[in-house]
Every structure is written in structure tokens, then in C-alpha cells.
A = this chain, B = another copy of it.
Amino acid sequence: MRTVFFVSESTGLTAEAMGQSLLSQFETLEFERVYMPYINTLARARALVQRVGAAKERHGVRPIVFGTMLDDEIRAVLRGGDCLYIEMFDTFMGTLEAELGVRPSRLSGRSHAITQPGSYTKRIDALNFAMSNDDGVRPENFDHADVILLGVSRTGKTPTSMYLAIHFGMRAANYPLTEEDFERSQLPDAVMRNAQKLVGLTIAPERLHRIREERRPGSRYSSLNQCQTDVRSGLRILAQLGIPVLDTTSQSIEEIASHVIEIFKQYG
């Protein structure tokens, strides 16, 4: 076991994203992951180096530290630690500075701070919109949505809507496909008049069966038979209406969301 630290002078979310991505290339290894945001004083940097040393003692291998530090002195302290220090800002900042011909501000925490109030407000508004337009509760609001996800119960509509809102600032609504829709072979007017915003979600019936079983064990709703019928009916109506469909069976909400963005070729 090796300890990995994600460190930063502010939230540490960038160091974490990049570090986790790199580590995911070494799936056979196990890591102890330590998230250390706000290492923004020399005292904190020195305490971190102590902790790095202790982790080295404990596991017998030197830890890896993924950092995005802007302060030269703090970086020097970390470099002195008994670790492999992978500094992600420092590596690229010189190249970028040369290309752009502008000095970096060296202010920490800019990437997750509210530096562009407009785009931040947009994300929060999108999240509020997604929360109050979950599960098709207010179809009249579909006119104000950027995207409307359609699918039978438990295909991933809700978490995907939340992610689209929180990360991409998309006003995501969702509408559950039900037997009523299948019988009518048609969707409500509020859905249809927003045809260009629609994305369908589907899922393998076996997977849907397992997900629904956790929710309502032993019910008709959760039975494999019902799941097969629902998925088939859902796919049929989506195909009839020419709505693009994403299969969520083995995809994370991040993956589904980025496919949605790909469909719309729209961002930010």
C-alpha cells in the first residue's frame, strides 16, 4: 500500500482530478488516498511534509504527492519531503506563459472560485431548475430547459440531470416514460414542442431489474419481466419519435453527461 496525497493552496479539486486520473491507469495497485486542501501557509506545508514522512514509515514506500501549488516557498517545502512530488501547475505554467505572453496571476484558488459570477450563477440556477423539474413534475417548465432526459423509471435520469446542471450549467429536466405514454404511443405536448431538447436513456433489463430490486424488492415493478417490457416499450417510443438514445448500463453519470453534451455540441 502506498499513500497518495492531493494537495493545493485552495480546494485541491484540480490536483485530485488529475491525480485520480493518472492513478486510474494503475488499476492493479491499491492506494491510500489523502485529500489535503488549503495548504496555504508554510506551517501547513511543513505539517504535510511530516505527515508524508509518517506515511513513508508506515508503508515502507515513499508517498506520491499530486500538487497544484503557486507559491514558490510552499513548493520548495513540499519538494523537500520524502515523496515523489508531481507538481502539475509548475510543469505547464512556463510553457503557457511563453505562449500567451502574459504573466500568471499566481493567485491560488482561481479555478474553483467565483471568478466569473455569470457562469457561476448559471450553474446554481441550473441546479435549482434541475431539482424543481425532476421526474416531470412541471412539464410547463420544459420550455425553459436546455435538455430533457426521457426514460423509464431508474434509468439514471435524475443523477444525470443533477450532474449536467452542477458541472455544465445546463438546465436539465427529465420526464419518466410510463405505460400511459406507451399506450398513447405519444408524449405530452410540453415534451413534443421541445423535440430538439430530448435525449432518451435506456439500460439493459437485467441491470434495471437489479437496480429496482434494491428499491422495491419482490414487486411487479422490479420483476425482470416488467423491466424487459418497460425497456422495450421505452426504446420503441424513442425510436418512433427519432429521439437520440444513450445506454446507461455501464456508464457513470459523468460519462452519460458528457455524451449528452456531445449530442448538443454545446458547452458552458
Contacts A24-B110, A35-B267; is A159 near B127 (CB within 8 Å)? yes
Q: CA A167 – CA B14 in complex, angstroms?
A: 13
Residues of B within 8 A of A24 (CB): 110-111, 115
**A219 at interface (Cβ–Cβ under 8 A)?**
no
Question: In residues 1-56 of chain A, which contact B (Cβ within 8 Å)?
Answer: 2, 10-14, 17-18, 20-22, 24-29, 33-35, 37-38
Nearest B-chain residue to A104, judged by Cβ: B25
Residues of B within 8 A of A255 (CB): 10-11, 109, 112-113
Q: CA A68 – CA B12 in complex, angstroms?
A: 19
Q: In the complex the two chains form, is B267's CB within 8 Å of A115's CB?
A: no
Q: CA A89 – CA B18 in complex, angstroms?
A: 9
Q: How far is the CB of A154 from chain B (nearest CB, A)?
A: 11
Contacts A17-B13, A120-B252, A166-B166; is A22 near B267 (CB within 8 Å)? no
Q: How far is the CB of A214 from chain B (nearest CB, A)?
A: 9
Contacts A163-B166, A258-B37, A268-B33; is A22 near B89 (CB within 8 Å)? yes
Q: How far is the CB of A244 from chain B (nearest CB, A)?
A: 14
Question: Which of B25, B257, B262 has a CB less than 8 Å from the CB of A93?
Answer: B25
Question: Which of B10, B96, B158 has a CB less than 8 Å from the CB of A131?
Answer: B158
Q: How far is the CB of A192 from chain B (nearest CB, A)?
A: 27
Q: In the complex the two chains form, is A258's CB within 8 Å of B13's CB?
A: yes
Residues of B within 8 A of A70 (CB): 25
Q: CA A62 – CA B250 in complex, angstroms?
A: 38
Nearest B-chain residue to A111, judged by Cβ: B21
Q: How far is the CB of A87 from chain B (nearest CB, A)?
A: 10
Q: In the complex the two chains form, is B100's CB within 8 Å of A95's CB?
A: no
- A-side residues, CB < 8 A to B, are 2, 10-14, 17-18, 20-22, 24-29, 33-35, 37-38, 64, 68, 70, 84, 86, 88-89, 91-93, 95-96, 99-100, 102, 104-107, 109-115, 120, 124, 127-128, 131, 134, 158-159, 162-163, 166-167, 250-255, 257-259, 261-262, 267-268
With A11-B254, A37-B259 known, 19 other A-B pairs at CB within 8 A are: A17-B18, A21-B110, A24-B110, A25-B89, A25-B93, A25-B104, A26-B104, A26-B105, A28-B102, A29-B102, A35-B261, A37-B258, A38-B258, A64-B96, A84-B96, A124-B159, A124-B253, A131-B134, A159-B166
5 closest A-B pairs by beta carbon, nearest first, are A25-B104, A24-B110, A21-B111, A17-B17, A112-B254
